[in-house]
Amino acid sequence: MFTRRDLLKTAAIAGVSLEAATFKGPLGVQLYTVRSVLPKDPAATIKAIASIGFAEVEVTWDGVEKILPIIKEAKLKAVSCHLPTPILNGNWGKAKPVSWSEAIEVGQKAGMKFLVIPYVAIPERGKTLDDFRTMADKMNKAGEQVAKAGMKLCYHNHAFEFAAMENSRPIDILIEKTDPKLVGIELDLFWVSVAGNDPAAMLKKMPGRFPLVHLKDKKKDAPVQFAENVPRDTFKEVGNGTMDFKAIMAAAKQSGVKHYFVEQDQTPGDPLESLKQSYANVRAMKW
């Protein structure tokens, strides 16, 4: 009888792998996911994230210096930080301004690899493609400072960047006009899909441009839209929705993604329970 062991042995001799690929690298969490519980007990929340099996975190700027020692104590690695959104355009209003040098210093001290521009508020969004070209220029300039400090600047997308504008799209301008050596894209796969695009195809099309990804899933029959005001139940644990994560994870590996952060903007209950489900589902995926 020709057994499975014989089949695998024959395939190995021929240089062909018949074993399905699985994700074995470190998984991270964007701490925005646990914003409802983190302030109540930071140490317990971070410890719970580590106990699930996550090895990395992406922090937010609010309270960053207080949370970093807790992350280190839990033996987690703070890989990247989402910066306050006005840092790009300088429109701070009543908020306390944060300089690029200050953000860089915090990142360096924590041993981070990336600083991320996470969002552009609606009043600050460009109305023309030239506005987005100007935005790309600003990111290139900031990216030079970040690169000199041994880190890389990234831009995190939502859905609005995929809306058609002047026979193009803002996302295309931001990718085309930013220097790949200075600025990467943190690809939020959920928002790519919400905007009617195939995340796996986008990853394959531009290898090397997406060092970071946000893993999150979406519910069945979610409509295509270019705004962030989706119903809260649109967000699903990775593997519990309708996005083709087997194809996505294979494409991400092929594209050269370096860090994977589970993020779920809204959860049906305890966000830590949702993180457990996402972690288990990602580890169980085969492609």
- For residue 7, what pLDDT band results from cuts at 50, 70 and 90? very low
Average pLDDT, integer, range 108-133: 95
Q: Where are the alpha helices (DSSP H) in the chain?
A: 4-13, 42-52, 64-73, 100-110, 129-148, 170-177, 189-194, 199-205, 245-255, 271-284
CA distance 189 to 259: 13
Coil/strand/helix, residue 188: strand
Q: What per-residue confidence (pLDDT) applies to 3?
A: 54
Residue 13 in this model has a pLDDT that exceeds 60: no
Model pLDDT, residue 57: 98
Please, what is the average pLDDT of the chain?
94
* pLDDT score of 18 more than 70: no
pTM (2 d.p.): 0.92
Residue 61 has pLDDT above 50, yes or no: yes
Amino acid at 235: F
Q: What is the CATH number of domain 78-284?
A: 3.20.20.150
Consecutive H or E run containing 97: none
Residue 1, pLDDT above cutoff 70:
no
> Strands 235-236 and 217-218: what pairing?
antiparallel
Distance CA 111, CA 151 (A): 9
For residue 104, is pLDDT > 90? Answer: yes
Residue 249 pLDDT more than 90?
yes
The pLDDT, as a whole number, for residue 5 is: 58
Residue 112's φ and ψ, nearest 5 degrees, are -70, 160
Mean pLDDT of 276-287: 95
pLDDT of residue 242: 98
Give the Cβ contact number of residue 146 at 10 Å. Answer: 22
- Residue 214's pLDDT is 98
Residue 200 has pLDDT above 60, yes or no: yes
The whole-number average pLDDT for the span 77-102 is: 95
For range 176-191, the mean pLDDT: 98
**Mean of pLDDT values over 236-242:** 98
Check residue 255 and give left, alpha or beta (phi > 0: left; psi -120 to 50: alpha): alpha
Say what the pLDDT of residue 250 is.
Answer: 96
pLDDT score at 6: 53
**What are the φ/ψ torsions at residue 202 (nearest 5 degrees)?**
-65, -40
Instruction: Note the pLDDT of residue 287.
Output: 82
Q: Alpha-carbon distance 239 to 7, whole Å?
A: 30
Residue 21's pLDDT band, with cuts at 50, 70 and 90, is confident
255 pLDDT band, cuts 50/70/90, is very high
| Cα-Cα end-to-end distance for the chain | 28
pLDDT bin (cut points 50, 70, 90) of residue 281 is very high
